[in-house]
Amino acid sequence: MNKKAIRRWLLALLATVVIVIALIYSSRPELIKVALVEVGSGEVRASVANTRAGTVKACRRARLSPAMGGQIAALPAREGSQVKQGDILLELWNDDLKAQLSLTRSDIEASRARAEEACTTAEVAQKESRRMLTMREEGLASEEAVEMSVGKASSSAAACRAVTALVRVSQAREEVALAALERTLLRAPFDGAIAEVNGELGEFVTPSPVGIPTPPAVDLIDNSCLYVTAPIDEVDAPSIRAGMPARISLDAFPKEDFKGVVRRVAPYVLELEKQARTVEIEVKVEQLEERDLLAGYSADVEVILEVREQVLRVPTQSVLEDSTVLLYREIDGVLESRPVQTGVANWEYTEILSGLKSGDQIVLSVDREGVGEGVQVQAEQ
């Protein structure tokens, strides 16, 4: 066989090998791509979260209405404005009561003048009585004149006491008139912001009948103290105590969390139709000076039961129901089922007590089709 024939034979063989390799490669199933995560150390918190959205509420909120009915004569309250304790928010027509108060005060002045006159007369009569008694001892005054002087002094003293008592009666009437006038004024019971005003100048307002709620004239909120009420599943409620730290997340601030402290756990279970039974908890919001939170925001609460720092941890979604993880063997790309012993866990991370070491790579995307033990996979970039 000459060299040309040998060369043709070798080229044909090489082409055949290339075709065979290409066919084998093209017929090989495509490797499943998986997301991997490296086992590392960090913080793991055992926590309990609310089953449904909670609500931000103000520690102090008053839905105020006048104590009596009447026509609105003044309405200093404006929605959104800040008020101080004692500020007048609403005033009913009260000219008659103001006139009555003015009359009572005038009567007090007159009573005081009469009391001053009567008491001065009593003082003079008392001096005259003492003088007559001295003159009787010296034989210069008759017994009859002395008796008349002493009687007049006693009578004048009684008149002084009577008129002084009338002054106190007039002062009591003034307090009654002030109380009646105060019933026509609606004052702020604490510092806060006015959320809502229901009423206009000239309109008539009436107190709510018993058992029939009506809109308040003024809704006052103190935003300096806020808390979140949230329902916790009855199964998780026994592990929660007042004073436990909590983390609060709000839809209004999606990239931030707020610190909180559990201040109350309801002593009863809510039984709502078509819903799981829950226990309501209250979590006080801290760091209010950093954000202008508003009552009414929806919020989620995560109560921290236990914190473990710098422990071996993996994402919770990578741990299967049988307490195993899929370990990625870098040497051949095959997945290995590895049993692990877990510790503290939450929805984000799970503590690993044994079965893995720092630096191991495990599968994060365990829910992908075809992913399982013994499967050769390709790591995603």
The answer to whether residue 181 is domain-embedded is no
Half-sphere exposure of 211 (CA within 13 A, CB side): 0
Residues 6+ apart with CB under 8 A from 119: 160, 163, 164
Q: Which tokens go with 269?
A: 């279970």
Residues 111, 122 share a domain: yes
Structural domain range at position 324: 27-45+309-379
The answer to whether residue 302 is domain-embedded is yes
Q: Indicate the pLDDT class of residue 158, thresholds 50, 70 and 90.
A: confident
Residues 291, 237 share a domain: yes
Dump pLDDT digits (tens) for 298-356.
Answer: 888 989 888 888 999 999 999 998 899 999 888 888 888 899 999 988 888 999 999 99
The answer to whether residue 263 is domain-embedded is yes
Give the residue from 306, 338, 371 where a domain finishes: 306
Residue 338 CA to residue 324 CA, distance in Å, equals 5
Residues 369, 325 share a domain: yes
φ, ψ (nearest 5 deg) of residue 127: -65, -40
Residues 276, 253 share a domain: yes
Residues 317, 356 share a domain: yes
State the alpha helices, DSSP H only, in the chain: 3-27, 95-137, 143-182
Give the residue from 161, 179, 206 where a domain finishes: 161
- Across 2-11, 164-173, 341-350, least confident range: 2-11
Number of domains in the chain: 3
The answer to whether residue 313 is domain-embedded is yes
At 286, which CATH number?
2.40.30.170
The residues with which 378 forms a beta bridge, in sequence order, are 33
Q: Single out the residue of 316, 304, 359 nearest to residue 41, CA to CA.
A: 359
The answer to whether residue 214 is domain-embedded is no
The answer to whether residue 245 is domain-embedded is yes
* Angle separating helix axes 143-182 and 95-137, nearest 10 degrees: 160
Residues 301, 327 share a domain: no
The residues with which 57 forms a beta bridge, in sequence order, are 227
Residues 6+ apart with CB under 8 A from 96: none
77 in Cβ contact with 89 (< 8 Å)? yes
DSSP 42: E
Dump pLDDT digits (tens) for 280-300.
Answer: 999 998 876 556 777 888 888
Question: Rounded to the nearest 10 degrees, how much is the dihedral formed by the CA atoms of 135, 137, 143, 149?
Answer: 50
